Chains A and B, each alone.
Chain A
Amino acid sequence: MKKNIICIIISSLLLGGCTEIVQTPLEDLGLISVAAFDYVDEKKMKMTVIMPQSAEDAKNPTQVYSVETELVQKGLVEISSKSDSTAALNQLRVVLFSEEMAKTDQMHKVIEYLYNNPKVTTRTFVAVVKDSAGKLLESEYPDKANKSIYMNNFFNKRQNVLFNPFKNIHDLIYDLHNPLVDPVVVYVELKESLINIDGIAVFKDKKMVDIFTREDAKSLQLLLETNKISSLSFVIDLDLAEEKIFMNFLRVKTKITSNHDIESPKLNISMKLSGQLSEYEGKKDLGNKSEVAKLEKEIEKAVEDDMKEFLQKCQELSVDPIGLFESFRMRYKGDWPSDLKDELLAKAEFEVDVKLDITTSGAITKK
């Protein structure tokens, strides 16, 4: 028996060489790390990609290709015909879309293609770019060693930083097809040869409708990342009292409860924050307990006002990036109607209650 098995294994290994289809060797692949899509017309888009140089002594470590195409796969074939290697999406980390494209349904189609392609990991980050997305890849970043690594790190390593609701393909598909949530995607622009986060792009019915500011994004993150944030930074300017505060939150716990009444929905948002007051400019004595308590109240009020303002803005735009009505769905019998969320949002009343606990204000006594 052993002899037979050995014979079969050896012969099958030898016969394996007769396979006609040969996989492309790794060194012949042009592994695209970032892809950008710009709007051309209703049918066409401009696809710009960057991939590493195959020659080690090349002046620039990354090469840029740009083509106009109707389909992503067709664009890849065209890029391959221009390049010295076969363009492949296996190492794709970031996908960028121009604002113009995000406002059409083309972006949604590209995202679905990428989600459907098993070569592309669903952890690929998505961003919307002000003006041209391709320009972000074509421009030079003089103080960055490698454009590809810069962009990858820019989107990948800062998930815990507030005001950056970074979304990957999985998150975006999840939101796009969830009748209770309107998706948001980080919105960036090219400023002084660097990528800058300018806010968040808000989507409705699979198309971008508006841009939220970074202040709005802060409120959104506090509402979204319940229990998940270990530390985050937050700046509150209390202009009237001329106080400037910088806090590192250790714990953010947001709870959204509702009255479950579809006719007159009321939502109560209670937020428990605890953290360290890491920087303070003002007249209060931080060694005095009552003054700290007073400061806590002031900050609570500021956060509450921010939240209310943000929720009002959501109501005006008829977008819900938080999923405020999840508790209604949990008790809803049957399929959730696609327009019910908008109806509820329009007539919803909100109550916001913030509780803050300043655990410490640093290592030295402050007066």
Chain B
Amino acid sequence: MDATKKKVLNGYHVVFLVQNVIIGTGLLSLNHVLSPVGYSQWWFPLLFGVIANITLFPMIWLALKYKDEDLFDINVKLLGKWIGKFINIILIVYALLIFMIVIQNYLSLIQITVLPNRAITFHLLIIMVLTVYIVYGGIKSIARFCIFTFFFAGTLTYSLRWGLMEGNISHLLPLFNFSFSEFMEAFHAGYVSMIGYELLMVYFPYIIHQKKVFKQASLGIWIVIFFYFSVSIVSVMYFSEWQLEHLFYPILQLFQAVKISIIERMDVIGITVWVFLILSTVSAYLWMAKRGIDSVRGKTSKYHLYALAIFCYIILSLPISQAVKKTVFENITYAFYGVVLWPLFLCSIHFLRKEKKEVVK
């Protein structure tokens, strides 16, 4: 019914779409990647929130100038057909890379913790099929899935209680105990966990109340920051600096601190429920890649979605060495910075064109 309409996303959809796309695998190792600044890391999520909020401005300003066009269309309009399409292809590769990195990270986590003796091929297939199924319903289906995920996976926050009770609040001080290079290292590695809100530029034309988007997207971002901040504070209180530095997934140990008589291993439940967060993130990126292909090829087809999913499945099944995967993952942050700052560049092009038009007149 909604597939025929273009404007399908209401306020709630936008809030939870922004929020759930951001929370993927980043949160699992957030405290580890922030460890260069030691205990002072607990307030970093607040800084991330402020910066994410600031970078929202150019995105929404530009999107409001082109209300019925997404990022792919704006690229073509402002940069011309060839350059625009070339940039769009880069964006598609970016979306697919994030899609694959998130799935790969989650599957390796599953392999380390829950199913150490199993090959991941079968689980990968199931995740792919589910993702395709969610994306098939369009952006509204993804948004609805995000709302469900928020209420379902959000309950995991309760498991922080035990870590908080056993932790030591004195770890929160001193506040600024790091050097500039440590700060930059932690910021660079940590800000990658905010990946996800840049997708707003792609689903903007589908939003009903476009003028309220800034408020809604900000709310989404600050819900994320609330989760990140809670986890960071509890981790800093519960772990020693050595543990923060050496534990790759501190949140797993926080789950293990849970003492409920009927649950022995909360970490296994936590990691299993995490699949909803993964699905909401990857389906949004797959949808973005599909929209990109639609835009580059100039026609909408559901076969684009199937082709992309099969392509990613093959790539993920290939025996690619861990070193290559690690290099890609480390450098995706730069691509993310590029995409977040891209609207600024487009805004300047927009002004130049406007001025040029006025001069011609």
What residues make up the interface of A, taking CB atoms closer than 8 Å to B?
A: 1, 5, 8-9, 12, 15-16, 19-21, 23-24, 118-119, 121-123, 170, 173-175, 177-178, 228, 326-327, 329-335
Contact = CB atoms under 8 A, between A and B. Distances in A.
Contacts of B119: 19-21
Contact of A333 (B170, B177, B256): B177
B117 A24 contact: yes
B314 to A, nearest CB: 15
A329 B173 CA distance: 8
Contacts of A118: 112-113, 116, 252
B38 to A, nearest CB: 8
Nearest to A121: B256
Contact of B133 (A5, A19, A178, A329): A5
Nearest to A112: B246
Contacts of A9: 129
A281 to B, nearest CB: 37
A35 to B, nearest CB: 18
A177 B243 contact: yes
Given A15-B122, A122-B257, 18 more contacts: A12-B122, A20-B119, A21-B118, A23-B115, A23-B117, A121-B264, A173-B243, A174-B239, A174-B240, A177-B242, A178-B240, A178-B241, A326-B168, A327-B170, A330-B170, A331-B173, A331-B174, A333-B177
Contacts of A15: 122
B87 to A, nearest CB: 32
Contacts of B133: 5
| Chain B interface mostly | helix
B253 A170 contact: yes
8 contacts: A5-B129, A9-B129, A123-B257, A177-B240, A177-B241, A178-B242, A330-B173, A330-B174
Q: Which of A24, A121, A327 has the most CB of B within 10 A?
A: A121
| Chain A interface mostly | loop
Contacts of A228: 165
A123 B117 contact: no
A352 B293 CA distance: 73
Interface string B265-285: 100000000000000000000
Nearest to A90: B265
Contacts of B121: 19
A21 B122 CA distance: 12
A352 to B, nearest CB: 20
Nearest to A118: B113
B259 interface: yes
B117 A121 contact: no
Given A326-B170, A330-B173, A16 B122 contact: yes
Nearest to A20: B119
Given A23-B117, A170-B257, A12 B170 contact: no
Given A118-B112, A174-B243, A123 B174 contact: no
Nearest to A117: B116
Interface string B227-244: 000000000000111110
Nearest to A174: B240
Interface string B13-48: 000000000000000000000000010000000000
A34 B242 CA distance: 27
B335 to A, nearest CB: 31
Contacts of B352: none
Contacts of B240: 173-175, 177-178
Contacts of A173: 240, 242-243
B1 interface: no
Contacts of B54: none
A332 B136 contact: no
Contacts of B257: 122-123, 170
Contacts of B125: 12
B246 to A, nearest CB: 8
B324 interface: no
Contact of B126 (A12, A329, A330): A12
A278 B89 CA distance: 78
In order of increasing CB-CB distance, the 3 nearest A-B pairs are: A177-B242, A330-B173, A178-B240
Interface string B123-165: 0011001000100100000000000000000000000000001
A12 B127 CA distance: 12
Contacts of A19: 118-119, 121-122
Interface in B95-120: 112-113, 115-119
Contacts of B129: 5, 8-9, 12
Contacts of A24: 117
A123 B256 contact: yes
B254 to A, nearest CB: 10
B259 A123 contact: yes
Given A174-B240, A177-B240, A178-B242, A333 B174 contact: yes
Contact of A23 (B112, B118, B170): B118
Interface string B155-190: 000000000010010100110010000000000000
A166 B24 CA distance: 36
Q: Which of B174, B241, B256, B264 has the most CB of A within 10 A?
A: B256
A204 B136 CA distance: 60
Contacts of B242: 173, 177-178
Contacts of B136: 1
Contacts of B252: 118
A44 B262 CA distance: 38
Contacts of A16: 122
A243 B173 CA distance: 45
A326 B252 CA distance: 27
B123 to A, nearest CB: 10
B29 to A, nearest CB: 14
Contacts of B116: 118-119
Contacts of B264: 121
Contacts of A1: 136
A122 B239 CA distance: 12
Contact of A332 (B118, B168, B174, B239): B174
A174 to B, nearest CB: 5
Nearest to A91: B264
A21 B123 CA distance: 14
